């Protein structure tokens, strides 16, 4: 019995798919999205999806149809697109298409939808994938994001290329992706690389102190010499290759309590485990 495509896509892990039909499966470039026509589950999901692929190819002549297979389900997909807007015309075509059978309902009217291309979370050499790294912390030094306004696409590809550049220079660099952004990190470290301390929290009008309380927050300081060196050599967090300035309220120093524009900083992050949604901090995030 065929379940909704949403159910199938939830079950399909976005692992690298090899030999599953379609041209150029391992070279995504700046293409991020595809159209999922239908999902299949059950013991014969492989055969069902392949049959739908053959019949749809024969009846429509659509290029770039392909299927992906996982242990618990398969999906029939069409095309690769730089962004959601670029896929809209083909999505309308897919939903409206009818088979030659008289009075038959359009087979993909209720199931066709635009989804991220399966496998993109593993785009890049596996030995550089942060999800395969050992340790607890790593140092985030760059973030890449798509920016349609600037005609910037392919954040995964940009991150992998920067990671490869750093590796050639001798740095132990890694990449990690999610749908919104990719980041590049350097090094792997145990929990002892950071030391937690408390400092007074910043509140307005003496809240807390006026009743005899002194609120504190926890701050993580780098104590590992190797991580310190990375921080010195890569003090700023690059965002699409540039140093961005962010407006923050100073919590220490002569500007305490006032808004200041500071360059985004590199910072330690916790290494995500495989199977987790990689929680890549936004640009300008501080220490964990």
| pLDDT above 70 for 251 | no
Cα four-point dihedral sign 262, 264, 265, 269: positive
- For 238-265, what is the mean pLDDT? 79
Task: Tell me whether residue 163 is exposed, middle or buried, using C-beta atoms within 10 angstroms of its C-beta: 0 to 12, 13 to 18, 19 or more.
Answer: buried
Q: In terms of Cα–Cα distance, which of 22, 27, 18 is closest to 37?
A: 22
67-103 pLDDT, tens digit per residue, is 998 888 899 999 998 888 889 999 999 999 998 887 7
Range scoring the smallest mean pLDDT among 4-18, 88-102, 240-254: 4-18
Neighbouring C-beta atoms of residue 243, cutoff 10 Å:
12
Q: Distance (Å, rounded) from C-alpha 177 to C-alpha 185?
A: 11
For position 274, what pLDDT does the model report? 61
For position 13, what pLDDT does the model report? 29
- For 137-148, what is the mean pLDDT? 90
For position 214, what pLDDT does the model report? 59
How large is the greatest C-alpha to C-alpha distance in the chain, in angstroms? 81
Q: Sorting pLDDT into bands at 50, 70 and 90, what band is 212?
A: low
The average confidence (pLDDT) of the chain is: 79
Range scoring the smallest mean pLDDT among 3-7, 36-40, 55-59, 89-93: 3-7
Q: How far is CA 158 from CA 36, 146, 232, 271, 282, in A?
A: 26, 10, 23, 20, 17
The pTM for the full model equals 0.62
% of the chain beyond a pLDDT of 70: 75
For position 271, what pLDDT does the model report? 93
For position 227, what pLDDT does the model report? 96
- DSSP letter at 105 equals P
Range scoring the smallest mean pLDDT among 81-90, 126-135, 180-189, 279-288: 279-288
DSSP-derived pairing of the beta strands 242-243 and 238-239: antiparallel
Neighbouring C-beta atoms of residue 35, cutoff 10 Å:
25
Residue 174: phi and psi, rounded to 5, are -140, 160
Q: In terms of Cα–Cα distance, which of 157, 166, 156 is closest to 187?
A: 166
168-192 pLDDT, tens digit per residue, is 999 999 999 877 789 999 999 999 9
Q: Sorting pLDDT into bands at 50, 70 and 90, what band is 219?
A: confident
Q: Distance (Å, rounded) from C-alpha 218 to C-alpha 63?
A: 56
């Amino acid at each position: 019995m065929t379940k909704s495509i949403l159910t199938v896509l939830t079950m399909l892990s976005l692992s690298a798919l090899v030999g599953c039909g379609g041209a150029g499966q391992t070279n995504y470039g700046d293409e991020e999205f595809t159209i999922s026509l239908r999902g299949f589950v059950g013991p014969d999901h492989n055969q069902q999806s392949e049959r739908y692929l053959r019949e749809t190819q024969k009846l429509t002549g659509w290029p770039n149809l392909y299927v992906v297979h996982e242990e618990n389900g398969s999906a029939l997909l069409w095309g690769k697109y730089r962004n959601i807007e670029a896929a809209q015309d083909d999505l309308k075509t897919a939903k409206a298409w009818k088979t030659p059978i008289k009075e038959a309902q359009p087979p993909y009217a209720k199931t066709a939808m635009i989804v991220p291309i399966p496998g993109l979370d593993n785009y890049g050499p596996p030995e550089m994938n942060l999800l395969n790294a050992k340790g607890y912390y790593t140092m985030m030094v760059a973030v890449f994001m798509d920016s349609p306004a600037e005609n910037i696409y392919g954040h995964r590809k940009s991150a992998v290329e920067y990671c490869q550049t750093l590796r050639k220079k001798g740095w132990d660099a890694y990449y990690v992706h999610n749908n919104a952004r990719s980041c590049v990190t350097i090094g792997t470290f145990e929990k002892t690389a950071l030391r937690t301390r408390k400092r007074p929290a910043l509140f307005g009008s003496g809240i807390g102190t006026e009743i005899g309380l002194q609120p504190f927050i926890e701050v993580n300081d780098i104590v590992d010499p190797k991580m310190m060196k990375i921080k010195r050599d890569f003090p700023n967090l690059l965002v699409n290759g540039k140093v961005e300035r962010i407006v923050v309220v100073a919590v220490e120093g002569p500007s305490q309590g006032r808004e200041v524009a500071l360059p985004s900083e590199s910072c330690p992050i916790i290494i995500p485990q495989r199977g987790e949604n990689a929680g890549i901090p936004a640009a300008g995030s501080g220490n964990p």
